Amino acid sequence: MSGEELAYIQDALQSNWIAPLGPHVNHFEKEIAEYVGVKGAVAVSSGTAAIHLALHVINVTKGDLVFCSSLTFVASANPILYRGAEPVFIDADPETWNMSTSALADALAEAAHVGRLPKAVIVVHLYGQVANMSEICSLCDQYGVPVIEDAAESLGSTYEQRHSGSMGLFGVYSFNGNKIITTSGGGMLVSHDQQALEKALYLATQAKDPTEYYQHRELGYNYRMSNLLAAVGRSQLKVLKERVHARRAVFQRYVEQLGDIAGFIFTKELENTRSNRWLTTLRVDHSKTAFRVDVIRRTLVAHNIEARPVWKPLHLQPMFSGVKYYPHEKGMDVSQHLFQTGICLPSGSNLSLRDQMRIVQCIKETISFEKIAF
Ligand SMILES: *Cc1c(COP(=O)(O)O)cnc(C)c1O
């Protein structure tokens, strides 16, 4: 927490706006829109809901295709199924871990060739790294396909001075408990297209017609953010800058301490981008070292230190078996490789120097032990 939450919540309670609407919701939307440099925003109950609304506004429906990054959390793609559409998964780039532009180019060319272009492309900015947006957007423009940015993990990250989430037709942020700022649960849909946002707002509030009585012509959702939670979000947004600073410092310290270990490859920032370093991630090059990344993770766990495996790619998930997948290069499945060789280190904004050094020490000891054993 930032420390100011109680004052904001107290204000919400005193004003008696205890509803999925109210002044804090409106302020929170304005403040986010201003911060990331877009025309407007709609505060909703989760990042997943925001993706769902974006797909609905684009009119993604049964029988449509939607392209989506494969190396991501399942929430990026679930809304494609909510709409009854068909996902197609796109591999990752080995440098950024984000959508491979060569795989995307292949997928779009093939889709155009058979006359079945996707209705949208969902690009994820994984772990805070911003994807190669100029290439991705120009590819999508070429085929007239709108881009939805899943920026759930990358609020505060920039690409050529522009904020992640502000470059596509829609951007999506999450304020789930694990994200860089949180409302305990919540999300935000942003866009430069006011009309599209109006439609999203209408759908998020049960698609009620502007009549005196309750009239509905289409199916809507109950997806608005509570005024109480928006109050929390506003005080969180005030410390976003410090959070990014803290997470980048955590990353820097890991690199200083562990960067020289043979085979350790920390995820790079693309040129002209600045990552919020939501999570410090690295992969272990198994051709340069004997030890395996899962040994590090298990040793950390044994020392009561939680480290996470990299997202299991969606094209490898049982629930998506049989779904079409475009690899980075022929016979080169990068996201699977990153899943097998990558790790997310503890990266909290409040990680103390002492705790971080304990983590570092634990990793160094694991490696020297593994060397002897080898
Ligand atoms: C957290 C997350 C989401 C979903 O956000 P919720 O607010 O939890 O629904 C979507 N995509 C990615 C990449 C995420 O990390």
Q: Which DSSP state fits 269?
A: P
What is the number of the ligand 1 atom nearest to the C-alpha of 126? Answer: 13
In terms of domains, do 100 and 10 share one?
yes
Residues 190 and 262 occupy one common structural domain: no
Is there a single domain that holds both residue 204 and residue 247?
no
| CATH number of the domain enclosing 294 | 3.90.1150.10
Residue 11 CA from chain centroid, whole number: 31
Report the distance separating Cα 245 and Cα 231, nearest Å.
23
Ligand 1 contacts CB of residue 149 (under 6 A): no
212 and 340 in a single domain? The answer is no
**Domain count for the chain:** 2
Catalytic residue among 30, 62, 119, 179: 179
Question: What average pLDDT score do residues 228-255 get?
Answer: 97
Tell how far the Cα of 152 is from the centroid of ligand 1, in angstroms: 5
Residue 277 C-alpha to ligand 1 middle, in angstroms? Answer: 16
pLDDT band at residue 2 using 50, 70 and 90 as cut-offs: confident
Q: What is the pLDDT of residues 27-44, one digit of tens each?
A: 999 999 999 999 999 999
215 and 351 share a domain? no
Say if residue 203 is in the same domain as residue 91.
yes
Ligand 1 geometric centre to CA of 123 (Å): 13
pLDDT number for residue 371: 60
Nearest-5° angle of CA 274, CA 278, CA 284? Answer: 95
Domain end marker among 237, 253, 287: 237
Which of 176, 183, 184, 347 for a ligand 1 pocket mutation test, highest count of atoms within 8 Å of Cβ?
176
Residues 177 and 272 in one domain: no
Q: Are 305 and 274 contained in the same domain?
A: yes
Residue 44, domain CATH: 3.40.640.10
Domain boundary among 237, 268, 302: 237
The residue behind tokens 């509030």 is: 205
- Where is the domain boundary, 196, 217, 237? 237
Query: What burial class does residue 301 get, using C-beta atoms within 10 Å of its C-beta: 0-12 exposed, 13-18 middle, 19+ buried?
Result: exposed
CA distance 249 to 233: 23
Residues 192-218: tens digit of each pLDDT: 999 999 999 999 999 999 999 999 999
Give distance in angstroms: CA of 182 to centre of ligand 1: 12
What rounded mean pLDDT belongs to the chain?
A: 95
What average pLDDT does this structure show over 246-257?
98
pTM equals: 0.97
Per the structure, the complete domain to which residue 303 belongs is given by 240-373
Question: Residue 19's pLDDT is what?
Answer: 86
- 87-91, 279-283, 366-370: lowest mean pLDDT where? 366-370
Q: Answer whether 248's CB lies under 8 Å from 256's CB.
A: no
Residue 179 annotated among the catalytic residues of the structure? yes
> Are 260 and 212 found together in one domain?
no
Between 17 and 79, where is the model more confident? 79
CA 291, 301, 47, 14 dihedral sign is negative
With beta carbons less than 8 A apart as the criterion, state whether 186 and 176 touch: yes
pLDDT tens-digit readout, 185-197: 999 999 999 999 9
